[in-house]
Chain A
Protein backbone atom coordinates (compact mmCIF):
# COMPACT_ATOMS: atom_id res chain seq x y z
CA UNK A 1 0.00 0.00 0.00
CA UNK A 2 2.83 2.38 0.83
CA UNK A 3 4.38 1.92 -2.62
CA UNK A 4 1.00 2.78 -4.16
CA UNK A 5 0.89 5.87 -1.93
CA UNK A 6 4.43 6.80 -2.96
CA UNK A 7 3.59 6.45 -6.62
CA UNK A 8 0.62 8.79 -6.25
CA UNK A 9 2.62 11.33 -4.27
CA UNK A 10 5.38 11.20 -6.87
CA UNK A 11 2.92 11.72 -9.72
CA UNK A 12 1.21 14.57 -7.87
CA UNK A 13 4.55 16.32 -7.29
CA UNK A 14 5.59 15.82 -10.90
CA UNK A 15 2.43 17.39 -12.28
CA UNK A 16 2.43 20.18 -9.71
CA UNK A 17 5.99 21.06 -10.63
CA UNK A 18 5.03 21.04 -14.30
CA UNK A 19 2.40 23.78 -13.81
CA UNK A 20 3.74 27.04 -15.17
CA UNK A 21 2.48 30.58 -15.90
CA UNK A 22 1.23 29.37 -19.29
CA UNK A 23 -1.30 27.19 -17.49
CA UNK A 24 -2.85 30.28 -15.97
CA UNK A 25 -2.45 32.82 -18.75
CA UNK A 26 -5.73 32.12 -20.44
CA UNK A 27 -7.13 34.04 -17.48
CA UNK A 28 -7.52 37.84 -17.66
CA UNK A 29 -3.90 38.96 -17.52
CA UNK A 30 -4.45 42.12 -15.51
CA UNK A 31 -6.33 40.19 -12.87
CA UNK A 32 -3.72 37.49 -12.87
CA UNK A 33 -0.79 39.64 -11.86
CA UNK A 34 -0.49 43.33 -11.19
CA UNK A 35 2.42 43.74 -13.58
CA UNK A 36 1.76 41.33 -16.43
CA UNK A 37 4.91 42.14 -18.37
CA UNK A 38 7.11 41.13 -15.52
CA UNK A 39 7.81 37.43 -15.93
CA UNK A 40 9.19 37.00 -12.44
CA UNK A 41 6.03 38.54 -10.98
CA UNK A 42 3.98 36.00 -12.91
CA UNK A 43 6.13 33.20 -11.58
CA UNK A 44 5.75 34.55 -8.07
CA UNK A 45 1.98 34.64 -8.54
CA UNK A 46 1.93 31.05 -9.78
CA UNK A 47 4.10 30.06 -6.82
CA UNK A 48 1.66 31.79 -4.48
CA UNK A 49 -1.35 30.04 -6.07
CA UNK A 50 0.38 26.69 -5.74
CA UNK A 51 1.29 27.43 -2.11
CA UNK A 52 -2.37 28.09 -1.39
CA UNK A 53 -3.28 24.79 -3.05
CA UNK A 54 -0.40 22.79 -1.57
CA UNK A 55 -2.45 21.11 1.20
CA UNK A 56 -4.47 19.19 -1.42
CA UNK A 57 -3.35 15.59 -1.20
CA UNK A 58 -0.49 16.33 1.22
CA UNK A 59 -2.08 13.59 3.34
CA UNK A 60 -3.56 10.64 1.46
CA UNK A 61 -5.20 7.52 2.82
CA UNK A 62 -5.76 4.66 0.42
CA UNK A 63 -8.13 1.71 0.87
CA UNK A 64 -8.78 -1.24 -1.41
CA UNK A 65 -12.46 -1.04 -0.48
CA UNK A 66 -14.62 1.40 1.44
CA UNK A 67 -18.27 2.05 2.02
CA UNK A 68 -17.95 5.75 1.17
CA UNK A 69 -14.86 7.98 1.11
CA UNK A 70 -16.79 10.86 2.71
CA UNK A 71 -17.80 8.67 5.65
CA UNK A 72 -14.16 7.69 6.18
CA UNK A 73 -13.17 11.39 6.14
CA UNK A 74 -15.75 12.06 8.84
CA UNK A 75 -14.27 9.24 10.92
CA UNK A 76 -10.80 10.75 10.43
CA UNK A 77 -12.16 14.12 11.64
CA UNK A 78 -13.53 12.48 14.77
CA UNK A 79 -10.30 10.53 15.40
CA UNK A 80 -8.23 13.71 15.05
CA UNK A 81 -10.48 15.52 17.49
CA UNK A 82 -10.22 12.67 20.00
CA UNK A 83 -6.45 13.25 19.88
CA UNK A 84 -7.02 16.97 20.48
CA UNK A 85 -6.08 17.77 16.87
CA UNK A 86 -7.95 18.78 13.76
CA UNK A 87 -7.91 16.96 10.45
CA UNK A 88 -5.38 18.50 8.09
CA UNK A 89 -7.06 20.51 5.34
CA UNK A 90 -6.67 18.87 1.94
CA UNK A 91 -6.63 15.32 3.37
CA UNK A 92 -7.66 12.88 0.65
CA UNK A 93 -9.22 9.45 1.08
CA UNK A 94 -8.96 7.15 -1.93
CA UNK A 95 -10.59 3.77 -2.50
CA UNK A 96 -10.26 1.21 -5.29
CA UNK A 97 -13.95 0.40 -5.03
CA UNK A 98 -16.92 1.64 -3.02
CA UNK A 99 -19.77 -0.43 -1.71
CA UNK A 100 -22.14 2.24 -0.47
CA UNK A 101 -21.60 5.16 -2.82
CA UNK A 102 -24.43 7.40 -3.88
CA UNK A 103 -24.95 10.64 -5.72
CA UNK A 104 -27.18 13.58 -4.84
CA UNK A 105 -30.71 12.75 -3.74
CA UNK A 106 -29.40 9.23 -2.98
CA UNK A 107 -29.06 8.46 -6.68
CA UNK A 108 -27.21 5.25 -7.35
CA UNK A 109 -23.49 5.62 -8.01
CA UNK A 110 -21.56 2.70 -9.40
CA UNK A 111 -17.93 2.62 -8.18
CA UNK A 112 -16.17 -0.59 -9.34
CA UNK A 113 -12.39 -1.14 -9.54
CA UNK A 114 -10.70 0.80 -12.32
CA UNK A 115 -12.18 4.19 -11.52
CA UNK A 116 -10.97 6.97 -9.27
CA UNK A 117 -13.05 7.31 -6.14
CA UNK A 118 -11.85 9.91 -3.69
CA UNK A 119 -12.97 12.56 -1.26
CA UNK A 120 -11.12 15.56 0.09
CA UNK A 121 -11.76 17.61 3.23
CA UNK A 122 -11.27 21.37 3.20
CA UNK A 123 -11.80 23.34 6.40
CA UNK A 124 -14.31 26.16 6.30
CA UNK A 125 -11.76 28.92 5.89
CA UNK A 126 -13.08 30.65 2.77
CA UNK A 127 -15.51 33.58 2.68
CA UNK A 128 -19.04 32.52 1.64
CA UNK A 129 -18.64 34.00 -1.85
CA UNK A 130 -15.71 31.68 -2.48
CA UNK A 131 -17.14 28.71 -0.61
CA UNK A 132 -19.97 28.67 -3.11
CA UNK A 133 -17.39 28.28 -5.89
CA UNK A 134 -16.00 25.03 -4.42
CA UNK A 135 -18.20 22.85 -6.67
CA UNK A 136 -16.92 24.84 -9.66
CA UNK A 137 -13.30 24.32 -8.53
CA UNK A 138 -13.81 20.57 -8.32
CA UNK A 139 -15.47 20.47 -11.74
CA UNK A 140 -12.72 22.53 -13.32
CA UNK A 141 -9.97 20.32 -11.87
CA UNK A 142 -11.62 17.15 -13.18
CA UNK A 143 -12.33 18.63 -16.60
CA UNK A 144 -8.75 19.86 -17.03
CA UNK A 145 -7.43 16.45 -15.95
CA UNK A 146 -9.55 14.64 -18.53
CA UNK A 147 -8.56 17.12 -21.23
CA UNK A 148 -4.89 16.30 -20.57
CA UNK A 149 -5.69 12.98 -22.26
CA UNK A 150 -6.98 14.83 -25.34
CA UNK A 151 -10.57 14.01 -24.55
CA UNK A 152 -13.07 16.72 -25.38
CA UNK A 153 -14.52 17.07 -21.89
CA UNK A 154 -16.97 19.88 -21.17
CA UNK A 155 -18.62 21.06 -17.99
CA UNK A 156 -22.37 21.33 -17.75
CA UNK A 157 -23.37 23.89 -15.09
CA UNK A 158 -22.46 23.41 -12.23
CA UNK A 159 -20.01 20.52 -12.44
CA UNK A 160 -21.32 17.68 -14.58
CA UNK A 161 -18.49 16.16 -16.60
CA UNK A 162 -19.48 15.19 -20.12
CA UNK A 163 -17.54 13.64 -22.97
CA UNK A 164 -19.46 13.22 -26.22
CA UNK A 165 -22.65 13.95 -24.29
CA UNK A 166 -22.04 11.12 -21.81
CA UNK A 167 -21.23 11.38 -18.13
CA UNK A 168 -17.62 10.48 -17.44
CA UNK A 169 -17.53 11.42 -13.77
CA UNK A 170 -19.46 12.88 -10.91
CA UNK A 171 -18.85 15.33 -8.10
CA UNK A 172 -20.58 15.57 -4.77
CA UNK A 173 -20.01 18.52 -2.44
CA UNK A 174 -21.25 18.51 1.12
CA UNK A 175 -20.59 20.73 4.09
CA UNK A 176 -20.50 18.90 7.41
CA UNK A 177 -19.93 19.65 11.06
CA UNK A 178 -17.42 17.57 12.97
CA UNK A 179 -18.30 16.32 16.46
CA UNK A 180 -16.39 19.24 17.95
CA UNK A 181 -18.36 21.67 15.81
CA UNK A 182 -15.73 22.41 13.16
CA UNK A 183 -17.18 22.92 9.70
CA UNK A 184 -15.56 21.15 6.76
CA UNK A 185 -16.37 21.06 3.07
CA UNK A 186 -16.15 17.57 1.62
CA UNK A 187 -15.57 17.18 -2.10
CA UNK A 188 -16.27 13.72 -3.44
CA UNK A 189 -15.03 12.86 -6.92
CA UNK A 190 -15.70 9.82 -9.03
CA UNK A 191 -14.03 9.44 -12.43
CA UNK A 192 -14.65 6.56 -14.79
CA UNK A 193 -11.12 5.76 -15.93
CA UNK A 194 -10.57 2.07 -16.74
CA UNK A 195 -13.98 0.82 -15.63
CA UNK A 196 -15.81 0.32 -18.91
CA UNK A 197 -18.74 -1.85 -17.92
CA UNK A 198 -21.80 -0.12 -16.59
CA UNK A 199 -25.14 -1.43 -15.36
CA UNK A 200 -27.82 -1.53 -18.06
CA UNK A 201 -29.54 1.54 -16.64
CA UNK A 202 -26.36 3.61 -17.15
CA UNK A 203 -25.08 2.14 -20.46
CA UNK A 204 -26.54 4.89 -22.63
CA UNK A 205 -25.58 7.78 -20.38
CA UNK A 206 -22.13 6.87 -19.03
CA UNK A 207 -18.68 6.55 -20.51
CA UNK A 208 -15.11 6.13 -19.31
CA UNK A 209 -11.73 7.53 -20.26
CA UNK A 210 -10.47 4.10 -21.35
CA UNK A 211 -13.63 3.52 -23.39
CA UNK A 212 -13.22 6.82 -25.19
CA UNK A 213 -9.47 6.34 -25.73
CA UNK A 214 -9.77 2.65 -26.63
CA UNK A 215 -7.09 1.71 -24.15
CA UNK A 216 -6.52 1.60 -20.43
CA UNK A 217 -4.62 4.24 -18.48
CA UNK A 218 -2.12 4.16 -15.64
CA UNK A 219 -4.43 4.94 -12.71
CA UNK A 220 -1.78 6.44 -10.42
CA UNK A 221 -0.83 8.88 -13.17
CA UNK A 222 -4.44 10.03 -13.59
CA UNK A 223 -4.77 10.40 -9.81
CA UNK A 224 -1.52 12.42 -9.70
CA UNK A 225 -2.74 14.71 -12.46
CA UNK A 226 -6.12 15.11 -10.77
CA UNK A 227 -4.57 16.03 -7.40
CA UNK A 228 -2.26 18.53 -9.10
CA UNK A 229 -5.26 20.10 -10.85
CA UNK A 230 -7.21 20.17 -7.59
CA UNK A 231 -4.25 21.98 -6.01
CA UNK A 232 -4.28 24.47 -8.87
CA UNK A 233 -8.04 25.04 -8.60
CA UNK A 234 -8.07 25.39 -4.81
CA UNK A 235 -5.03 27.67 -4.99
CA UNK A 236 -6.73 29.81 -7.60
CA UNK A 237 -9.82 30.06 -5.41
CA UNK A 238 -7.79 31.17 -2.39
CA UNK A 239 -5.82 33.64 -4.51
CA UNK A 240 -9.13 34.94 -5.85
CA UNK A 241 -10.23 35.60 -2.29
CA UNK A 242 -6.99 37.44 -1.57
CA UNK A 243 -7.45 39.66 -4.65
CA UNK A 244 -11.07 40.31 -3.78
CA UNK A 245 -10.17 41.39 -0.24
CA UNK A 246 -7.26 43.48 -1.45
CA UNK A 247 -9.45 45.30 -3.97
CA UNK A 248 -12.51 45.40 -1.72
CA UNK A 249 -14.64 44.10 -4.55
CA UNK A 250 -16.64 40.89 -4.58
CA UNK A 251 -18.90 39.23 -7.12
CA UNK A 252 -21.90 41.22 -5.88
CA UNK A 253 -20.05 44.30 -7.08
CA UNK A 254 -19.50 42.69 -10.45
CA UNK A 255 -16.01 41.26 -9.96
CA UNK A 256 -15.66 38.00 -11.84
CA UNK A 257 -13.33 35.55 -10.15
CA UNK A 258 -10.31 34.01 -11.87
CA UNK A 259 -11.51 30.52 -11.04
CA UNK A 260 -14.98 31.20 -12.40
CA UNK A 261 -13.50 32.71 -15.59
CA UNK A 262 -11.40 29.59 -16.05
CA UNK A 263 -14.44 27.41 -15.34
CA UNK A 264 -16.44 29.27 -18.00
CA UNK A 265 -13.72 28.47 -20.54
CA UNK A 266 -14.46 24.78 -19.94
CA UNK A 267 -18.26 24.99 -19.88
CA UNK A 268 -20.51 24.52 -22.91
CA UNK A 269 -23.87 25.38 -21.33
CA UNK A 270 -24.44 28.88 -22.74
CA UNK A 271 -26.66 28.85 -25.81
CA UNK A 272 -28.21 25.49 -24.97
CA UNK A 273 -31.86 24.74 -24.55
CA UNK A 274 -32.05 23.25 -21.06
CA UNK A 275 -34.50 21.71 -18.68
CA UNK A 276 -34.19 23.02 -15.14
CA UNK A 277 -35.26 21.47 -11.86
CA UNK A 278 -34.11 21.21 -8.31
CA UNK A 279 -33.99 17.47 -8.94
CA UNK A 280 -34.22 17.57 -12.71
CA UNK A 281 -34.34 13.79 -13.16
CA UNK A 282 -37.37 13.36 -10.90
CA UNK A 283 -39.10 16.68 -11.31
CA UNK A 284 -38.11 18.97 -14.19
CA UNK A 285 -39.70 22.38 -13.67
CA UNK A 286 -39.26 24.34 -16.88
CA UNK A 287 -37.39 24.71 -20.15
CA UNK A 288 -35.27 27.73 -20.96
CA UNK A 289 -32.35 28.88 -23.06
CA UNK A 290 -29.10 29.34 -21.10
CA UNK A 291 -27.84 32.83 -21.95
CA UNK A 292 -24.94 33.42 -19.56
CA UNK A 293 -23.68 33.44 -16.02
CA UNK A 294 -24.14 35.86 -13.14
CA UNK A 295 -20.82 37.00 -11.63
CA UNK A 296 -21.35 34.89 -8.49
CA UNK A 297 -21.89 31.67 -10.47
CA UNK A 298 -25.65 31.66 -11.09
CA UNK A 299 -27.00 30.42 -14.41
CA UNK A 300 -28.92 33.05 -16.37
CA UNK A 301 -31.67 31.69 -18.61
CA UNK A 302 -34.34 33.05 -20.88
CA UNK A 303 -37.81 31.57 -20.54
CA UNK A 304 -40.18 31.01 -23.45
CA UNK A 305 -41.98 34.30 -22.71
CA UNK A 306 -38.69 36.21 -23.01
CA UNK A 307 -38.32 36.86 -19.28
CA UNK A 308 -35.01 36.19 -17.59
CA UNK A 309 -34.36 33.97 -14.61
CA UNK A 310 -31.17 33.33 -12.64
CA UNK A 311 -30.75 30.11 -10.69
CA UNK A 312 -28.15 29.54 -7.98
CA UNK A 313 -29.13 25.99 -7.12
CA UNK A 314 -30.71 22.98 -8.72
CA UNK A 315 -29.51 21.33 -11.90
CA UNK A 316 -30.06 21.25 -15.62
CA UNK A 317 -30.04 18.76 -18.43
CA UNK A 318 -29.51 19.55 -22.07
CA UNK A 319 -32.60 19.23 -24.22
CA UNK A 320 -30.79 19.12 -27.55
CA UNK A 321 -27.25 18.43 -28.55
CA UNK A 322 -26.76 21.66 -30.49
Chain B
Protein backbone atom coordinates (compact mmCIF):
# COMPACT_ATOMS: atom_id res chain seq x y z
CA UNK B 1 0.00 0.00 0.00
CA UNK B 2 1.42 3.41 -0.92
CA UNK B 3 1.75 6.23 1.59
CA UNK B 4 -0.86 8.25 -0.26
CA UNK B 5 -3.42 5.50 0.15
CA UNK B 6 -2.82 5.40 3.89
CA UNK B 7 -4.20 8.91 4.37
CA UNK B 8 -7.98 9.13 4.27
CA UNK B 9 -8.28 12.86 3.77
CA UNK B 10 -12.04 13.17 3.76
CA UNK B 11 -12.42 11.15 6.92
CA UNK B 12 -9.71 13.11 8.74
CA UNK B 13 -10.93 16.49 7.60
CA UNK B 14 -14.54 15.75 8.44
CA UNK B 15 -13.43 14.69 11.92
CA UNK B 16 -11.79 18.08 12.44
CA UNK B 17 -14.79 19.87 10.87
CA UNK B 18 -17.25 18.24 13.25
CA UNK B 19 -15.06 18.75 16.32
CA UNK B 20 -12.29 21.33 15.76
CA UNK B 21 -10.95 21.07 19.30
CA UNK B 22 -8.13 19.49 21.17
CA UNK B 23 -9.00 18.03 24.57
CA UNK B 24 -6.19 18.64 27.03
CA UNK B 25 -6.33 16.50 30.16
CA UNK B 26 -4.83 18.07 33.25
CA UNK B 27 -3.53 15.42 35.64
CA UNK B 28 -2.20 15.74 39.19
CA UNK B 29 1.47 16.70 39.04
CA UNK B 30 2.16 14.77 42.24
CA UNK B 31 0.28 13.26 45.15
CA UNK B 32 -1.53 15.65 47.46
CA UNK B 33 -4.82 17.21 48.45
CA UNK B 34 -6.40 19.00 45.52
CA UNK B 35 -8.64 22.09 45.45
CA UNK B 36 -10.14 23.30 42.17
CA UNK B 37 -9.86 26.99 41.31
CA UNK B 38 -12.07 26.95 38.19
CA UNK B 39 -15.63 25.88 37.37
CA UNK B 40 -16.94 23.88 34.44
CA UNK B 41 -17.29 26.09 31.31
CA UNK B 42 -14.79 28.63 32.68
CA UNK B 43 -12.69 30.28 30.00
CA UNK B 44 -8.97 29.82 30.70
CA UNK B 45 -5.85 31.42 29.24
CA UNK B 46 -2.51 29.80 28.53
CA UNK B 47 0.96 31.12 29.24
CA UNK B 48 1.67 34.51 27.72
CA UNK B 49 4.19 37.31 27.66
CA UNK B 50 7.04 37.93 25.27
CA UNK B 51 9.16 35.32 27.05
CA UNK B 52 6.24 33.05 27.89
CA UNK B 53 6.85 33.96 31.52
CA UNK B 54 3.32 35.00 32.51
CA UNK B 55 1.50 31.95 33.86
CA UNK B 56 -1.92 30.97 32.57
CA UNK B 57 -5.18 30.80 34.53
CA UNK B 58 -4.81 29.02 37.90
CA UNK B 59 -6.61 25.66 37.59
CA UNK B 60 -6.07 23.88 40.88
CA UNK B 61 -4.03 23.94 44.03
CA UNK B 62 -2.30 20.79 45.18
CA UNK B 63 -1.00 20.57 48.72
CA UNK B 64 1.55 18.03 49.88
CA UNK B 65 3.11 18.24 53.34
CA UNK B 66 2.03 21.88 53.82
CA UNK B 67 3.66 22.80 50.52
CA UNK B 68 0.83 24.17 48.36
CA UNK B 69 1.41 24.57 44.64
CA UNK B 70 -0.84 26.36 42.16
CA UNK B 71 -1.04 24.66 38.77
CA UNK B 72 -1.88 26.94 35.85
CA UNK B 73 -3.21 26.35 32.38
CA UNK B 74 -0.69 25.93 29.56
CA UNK B 75 -3.29 26.48 26.86
CA UNK B 76 -6.35 28.62 26.22
CA UNK B 77 -9.85 27.16 26.01
CA UNK B 78 -12.85 26.18 28.08
CA UNK B 79 -12.95 23.82 31.03
CA UNK B 80 -15.10 21.01 29.65
CA UNK B 81 -15.06 18.56 32.56
CA UNK B 82 -14.01 18.62 36.19
CA UNK B 83 -13.81 15.63 38.45
CA UNK B 84 -15.68 17.34 41.29
CA UNK B 85 -15.56 14.22 43.42
CA UNK B 86 -11.82 14.83 43.85
CA UNK B 87 -12.23 18.38 45.16
CA UNK B 88 -10.70 18.71 48.64
CA UNK B 89 -9.52 15.11 48.44
CA UNK B 90 -6.16 13.38 48.29
CA UNK B 91 -5.15 12.31 44.77
CA UNK B 92 -2.37 10.20 43.33
CA UNK B 93 0.20 11.59 40.88
CA UNK B 94 -1.13 11.40 37.33
CA UNK B 95 -4.81 11.23 38.30
CA UNK B 96 -7.00 13.05 35.77
CA UNK B 97 -8.49 16.17 37.35
CA UNK B 98 -10.03 18.22 34.55
CA UNK B 99 -10.12 18.64 30.80
CA UNK B 100 -9.67 21.82 28.77
CA UNK B 101 -11.30 22.09 25.36
CA UNK B 102 -8.84 24.03 23.21
CA UNK B 103 -10.11 25.49 19.89
CA UNK B 104 -7.71 24.48 17.12
CA UNK B 105 -6.39 27.02 14.63
CA UNK B 106 -5.83 26.07 11.01
CA UNK B 107 -2.08 25.75 11.59
CA UNK B 108 -2.67 23.47 14.59
CA UNK B 109 -5.01 21.28 12.54
CA UNK B 110 -2.39 20.93 9.82
CA UNK B 111 0.23 20.02 12.41
CA UNK B 112 -2.13 17.62 14.11
CA UNK B 113 -2.81 15.79 10.84
CA UNK B 114 0.87 15.86 9.90
CA UNK B 115 1.77 14.22 13.18
CA UNK B 116 0.08 11.08 11.86
CA UNK B 117 2.41 11.13 8.86
CA UNK B 118 5.68 12.49 10.24
CA UNK B 119 8.04 10.84 12.63
CA UNK B 120 7.86 13.05 15.70
CA UNK B 121 11.06 13.44 17.69
CA UNK B 122 10.31 14.59 21.24
CA UNK B 123 12.27 16.49 23.88
CA UNK B 124 13.93 13.96 26.19
CA UNK B 125 13.78 16.34 29.18
CA UNK B 126 12.68 19.83 30.06
CA UNK B 127 15.57 21.95 28.81
CA UNK B 128 16.62 24.48 26.21
CA UNK B 129 17.34 23.11 22.76
CA UNK B 130 19.30 24.23 19.74
CA UNK B 131 20.37 22.49 16.57
CA UNK B 132 23.82 20.91 16.42
CA UNK B 133 26.30 23.20 14.64
CA UNK B 134 26.41 21.03 11.51
CA UNK B 135 22.61 20.76 11.22
CA UNK B 136 22.17 24.49 11.84
CA UNK B 137 24.64 25.40 9.13
CA UNK B 138 22.89 23.02 6.68
CA UNK B 139 19.55 24.62 7.59
CA UNK B 140 21.05 28.09 7.11
CA UNK B 141 22.44 27.14 3.69
CA UNK B 142 19.61 25.10 2.20
CA UNK B 143 16.53 25.60 4.33
CA UNK B 144 15.05 23.18 6.81
CA UNK B 145 13.23 20.95 4.31
CA UNK B 146 16.46 20.09 2.53
CA UNK B 147 18.19 18.59 5.53
CA UNK B 148 18.30 14.81 5.53
CA UNK B 149 18.92 13.01 8.83
CA UNK B 150 19.31 9.38 9.77
CA UNK B 151 19.47 7.42 13.04
CA UNK B 152 22.63 8.12 15.02
CA UNK B 153 23.10 11.64 13.67
CA UNK B 154 23.80 14.30 16.30
CA UNK B 155 20.97 16.67 15.49
CA UNK B 156 20.24 18.75 18.55
CA UNK B 157 22.01 19.97 21.66
CA UNK B 158 20.09 19.98 24.90
CA UNK B 159 21.21 22.62 27.36
CA UNK B 160 20.37 22.73 31.04
CA UNK B 161 22.22 24.98 33.50
CA UNK B 162 25.02 25.46 30.98
CA UNK B 163 25.55 21.72 30.58
CA UNK B 164 25.22 20.70 26.96
CA UNK B 165 24.16 17.22 25.93
CA UNK B 166 24.16 16.11 22.30
CA UNK B 167 20.90 14.49 21.28
CA UNK B 168 21.15 11.73 18.70
CA UNK B 169 18.35 11.05 16.26
CA UNK B 170 16.62 7.72 16.75
CA UNK B 171 13.75 7.78 14.27
CA UNK B 172 13.35 6.81 10.66
CA UNK B 173 15.61 8.47 8.05
CA UNK B 174 14.13 11.47 6.30
CA UNK B 175 13.92 15.19 5.78
CA UNK B 176 13.37 17.60 8.66
CA UNK B 177 9.91 18.79 7.67
CA UNK B 178 8.61 20.60 10.75
CA UNK B 179 10.51 22.34 13.51
CA UNK B 180 8.45 22.90 16.64
CA UNK B 181 10.91 25.00 18.62
CA UNK B 182 13.03 28.09 18.15
CA UNK B 183 16.74 27.57 18.94
CA UNK B 184 17.20 28.38 22.61
CA UNK B 185 13.54 27.74 23.52
CA UNK B 186 12.71 26.04 26.76
CA UNK B 187 10.82 22.86 25.87
CA UNK B 188 9.02 20.50 28.25
CA UNK B 189 9.79 16.79 28.29
CA UNK B 190 7.78 14.87 25.67
CA UNK B 191 6.93 17.95 23.60
CA UNK B 192 7.72 17.52 19.86
CA UNK B 193 10.99 19.07 18.70
CA UNK B 194 10.98 18.14 15.03
CA UNK B 195 8.83 16.19 12.57
CA UNK B 196 10.75 14.07 10.08
CA UNK B 197 9.31 12.95 6.77
CA UNK B 198 10.50 9.97 4.73
CA UNK B 199 11.34 11.23 1.25
CA UNK B 200 8.61 9.11 -0.39
CA UNK B 201 6.00 10.65 1.89
CA UNK B 202 6.79 14.27 1.00
CA UNK B 203 4.09 14.51 -1.73
CA UNK B 204 1.47 13.25 0.74
CA UNK B 205 2.53 15.79 3.31
CA UNK B 206 2.31 18.59 0.76
CA UNK B 207 -1.14 17.36 -0.24
CA UNK B 208 -2.34 17.48 3.39
CA UNK B 209 -1.16 21.06 3.77
CA UNK B 210 -2.69 22.21 0.49
CA UNK B 211 -6.00 20.46 1.17
CA UNK B 212 -6.43 21.83 4.69
CA UNK B 213 -5.40 25.33 3.63
CA UNK B 214 -7.92 25.24 0.77
CA UNK B 215 -10.81 23.78 2.73
CA UNK B 216 -10.39 25.39 6.11
CA UNK B 217 -11.51 28.91 6.73
Do they bind each other? yes
Nearest-Cβ distance from residue A91 to partner chain B, whole angstroms: 18
B163 and A132 contact, CB distance less than 8 A:
yes
Known contacts A278-B130, A313-B128, A173 near B162 by CB under 8 Å: yes
CB within 8 Å of B: which of A104-156?
104, 106, 128, 131-136
Task: Pick the residue among A174, A253, A308 that contacts B163 (CB under 8 A).
Answer: A174
A104 and B164 contact, CB distance less than 8 A:
yes
A266 interface residue (CB < 8 Å to B): no
B1 interface residue (CB < 8 Å to A): no
B133 interface residue (CB < 8 Å to A): yes
For A158, the chain B residues whose CB sits under 8 A away are: 161-162
B160 interface residue (CB < 8 Å to A): yes
Q: Mark B40-57, 1 if CB is under 8 A from A, else 0.
A: 000000000111011000
A159 and B162 contact, CB distance less than 8 A:
yes
A309 and B164 contact, CB distance less than 8 A:
no
B190 interface residue (CB < 8 Å to A): no
B163 and A104 contact, CB distance less than 8 A:
no
A173 and B163 contact, CB distance less than 8 A:
yes
**Residue of A171, A297, A312 with most partner-chain B CB within 10 A:** A312
A313 and B162 contact, CB distance less than 8 A:
yes
A176 to B126, CA, bound (A): 18
Closest chain B residue to A132, Cβ basis? B161
For A134, the chain B residues whose CB sits under 8 A away are: 163
For B165, the chain A residues whose CB sits under 8 A away are: 174-176
B184 and A173 contact, CB distance less than 8 A:
no
A307 and B184 contact, CB distance less than 8 A:
no
For A174, the chain B residues whose CB sits under 8 A away are: 163-166
A175 and B162 contact, CB distance less than 8 A:
no
B108 interface residue (CB < 8 Å to A): no
A213 to B126, CA, bound (A): 43
Closest chain B residue to A139, Cβ basis? B162
Task: Pick the residue among A135, A254, A285 that contacts B161 (CB under 8 A).
Answer: A135
A278 and B128 contact, CB distance less than 8 A:
yes
A185 and B186 contact, CB distance less than 8 A:
no
For B49, the chain A residues whose CB sits under 8 A away are: 307
Nearest-Cβ distance from residue B133 to partner chain A, whole angstroms: 6
Nearest-Cβ distance from residue B10 to partner chain A, whole angstroms: 43
Nearest-Cβ distance from residue B148 to partner chain A, whole angstroms: 22
Closest chain A residue to B185, Cβ basis? A278
For B161, the chain A residues whose CB sits under 8 A away are: 132-133, 135-136, 158, 297, 312-313
For B54, the chain A residues whose CB sits under 8 A away are: 307
A279 interface residue (CB < 8 Å to B): yes
**Residue of B130, B160, B184 with most partner-chain A CB within 10 A:** B160
Closest chain B residue to A299, Cβ basis? B161
Task: Pick the residue among B51, B64, B125, B127 that contacts A309 (CB under 8 A).
Answer: B51
B75 interface residue (CB < 8 Å to A): no
B162 and A278 contact, CB distance less than 8 A:
no
For B186, the chain A residues whose CB sits under 8 A away are: 312-313
Q: Mark B134-167, 1 if CB is under 8 A from A, else 0.
A: 0000000000000000000000000111111110
A106 to B164, CA, bound (A): 12
B171 interface residue (CB < 8 Å to A): no
CB within 8 Å of B: which of A296-315?
297, 303, 307-309, 312-315
A25 interface residue (CB < 8 Å to B): no
For B162, the chain A residues whose CB sits under 8 A away are: 104, 135, 158-159, 171, 173, 313, 315
B163 and A286 contact, CB distance less than 8 A:
no
For B64, the chain A residues whose CB sits under 8 A away are: 253
Known contacts A173-B162, A253-B67, A303-B53, A313 near B127 by CB under 8 Å: yes
A135 to B163, CA, bound (A): 7
Nearest-Cβ distance from residue B61 to partner chain A, whole angstroms: 16
A279 to B54, CA, bound (A): 22
A312 to B53, CA, bound (A): 13
A189 to B165, CA, bound (A): 17
CB within 8 Å of A: which of B183-217?
183-184, 186
A29 interface residue (CB < 8 Å to B): no
For B133, the chain A residues whose CB sits under 8 A away are: 106
A309 to B52, CA, bound (A): 9
B168 and A128 contact, CB distance less than 8 A:
no
Task: Pick the residue among A135, A254, A307 that contacts B53 (CB under 8 A).
Answer: A307
Q: Please list 11 pairs of residues, one from A and one from B, whose beta carbons are closer than 8 Å in the complex, sorted by A's number.
A: A132-B161, A173-B164, A177-B166, A253-B65, A307-B49, A312-B186, A313-B127, A313-B128, A314-B128, A314-B159, A314-B184
Interface residues of chain B, those whose CB is within 8 Å of chain A, are: 49-51, 53-54, 64-65, 67, 125-128, 130, 133, 159-166, 168, 183-184, 186
